[in-house]
């Protein structure tokens, strides 16, 4: 019914062959069941996640891990909660049912803007300071785990992001785009 003649003949031969050899029938059933389980995990368990070219994947671990330490809101690897790390663009294979992924847009800072950041997690600010101290090794805030591991502080950040595209954890960092101030050649900018 609607199948090409060659395909229906092949199916009939396979059916005869399966009935002749019970081992092939069992093997066929096991393969079909395995494929069905795998497809269930991919669809229902959200095992495969595709993050688009201008997106970032925010990961939340739901089960089987350590609880967050007192006062923390962002999880590191092995901890339950919204993770500091993010998924870059591409196809990712995750353990089924353990993680959920929410996609967000990459931060785009145009040529006429700068981005000011505020971290919602990290070490507390030093007494008397209103901005967090500079921290190395976080790839312009794109590696949230490195930011927290290297002593990044909670609150407004002293560093700004220049024009460009950034894969930031938008849960860990609040981003505000502001117009850049241009100081023309031969002039001096005075900050008060």
Residue 45's pLDDT is what?
Answer: 64
Residue 34's pLDDT is what?
Answer: 86
Report the 10 Å Cβ neighbour count for 50.
Answer: 13
Structural contact between residues 122 and 152, judged by C-beta atoms closer than 8 angstroms: yes
One DSSP character per residue, 63-84 reads SSSBPPPTT--SB-TTBSEEEE
User: Average pLDDT of each block of 10 consecutive residues along the chain (192 residues)?
Assistant: 62 63 80 83 75 94 91 93 95 87 95 96 94 95 96 96 96 95 89 84
Residue 27's pLDDT is what?
Answer: 84
CA atoms of 103 and 76, how far apart (whole Å): 19
* pTM to 2 decimal places: 0.74
């Amino acid at each position: 019914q609607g199948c090409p003649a060659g395909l229906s003949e092949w199916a009939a031969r396979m059916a005869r062959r399966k009935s002749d050899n019970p081992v092939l029938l069992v093997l066929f059933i096991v393969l079909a069941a395995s494929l069905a389980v795998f497809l269930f995990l991919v669809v229902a368990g959200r095992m495969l996640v595709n993050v688009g070219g201008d997106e970032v994947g925010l990961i939340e671990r739901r089960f089987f891990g350590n609880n967050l330490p007192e006062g923390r809101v962002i999880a590191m690897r092995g901890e339950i909660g919204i993770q500091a790390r993010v998924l870059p663009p591409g196809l990712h294979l995750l353990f089924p049912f353990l993680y959920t992924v929410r996609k967000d847009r990459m931060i785009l800072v145009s040529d006429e803007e700068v981005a000011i950041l505020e971290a919602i997690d990290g070490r507390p600010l030093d007494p008397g300071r209103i901005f967090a101290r500079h921290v190395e090794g976080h790839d312009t805030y794109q590696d949230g785990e490195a930011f927290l591991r290297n002593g990044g502080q909670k609150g407004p950040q002293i560093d700004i992001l220049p024009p460009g595209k950034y894969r930031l954890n938008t849960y860990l960092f609040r981003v505000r785009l502001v117009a850049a101030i241009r100081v023309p050649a031969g002039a001096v900018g005075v900050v008060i």
